Amino acid sequence: MQLLIISMILLWLVVLVNLFLTLALIRRVNKSRSLGEPIETLPVGELAPDFFAETMGNERVTLGDYAGRTLAMVFISPTCGHCRPIIPQVEALGPKAKRSGVELTFVCDAEIDQTQAYIQELNITLPVLSAPRQSNHFLEYYKVNGVPAYVLINTQGKVEAFGHPEDLEWKRVSDKW
């Protein structure tokens, strides 16, 4: 009888220790996700990082190719369901942006052949750059943690705005065009 009582006490101790360890693990995972901390973004007012990407004509471009011009880049992906409704809205802004002297360009995180198929599927007419995540650090340098996203770079090469194409800042920026 004593052995049974001791076994039950030890079993409950193991269960309680396991419960405390599980709770500690959950806290650590939540903390590592940085749920309460802001996501790191591209600093507004600082020089935009250099990048390289490919045009649909297989030409390599860098930030220097846009020197002295205002550049608005919208980051998209063929695997992004939220990008599909944004693309026609951005496309509609193309003529207004051009009249205002803004180079409005999509940047796709897929290989060039996937990007070309995506362009055809969605009838994209704006310029598109390919910067695959696997082989290009463009999106990493620009701190694009998810798509769709945008960055506006002014004529001095400084980041003027950064965010999601449905946020108020994007509306403010695009309304100026």
Least confident of 21-25, 34-38, 120-124: 34-38
Q: Tell me the pTM.
A: 0.78
Angstrom distances, CA of residue 173 to CA of 1, 20, 23, 37, 60: 78, 50, 45, 26, 28
- Look at residue 31 in the predicted model and tell me its pLDDT: 60
Q: Residue 73: what residue type?
A: M
How large is the average pLDDT for residues 61-90?
A: 96
Spatial distance between the Cα atoms of 26 and 12, rounded to a whole number of angstroms: 21
| Mean pLDDT over the full length of the chain | 91
Spatial distance between the Cα atoms of 125 and 120, rounded to a whole number of angstroms: 9
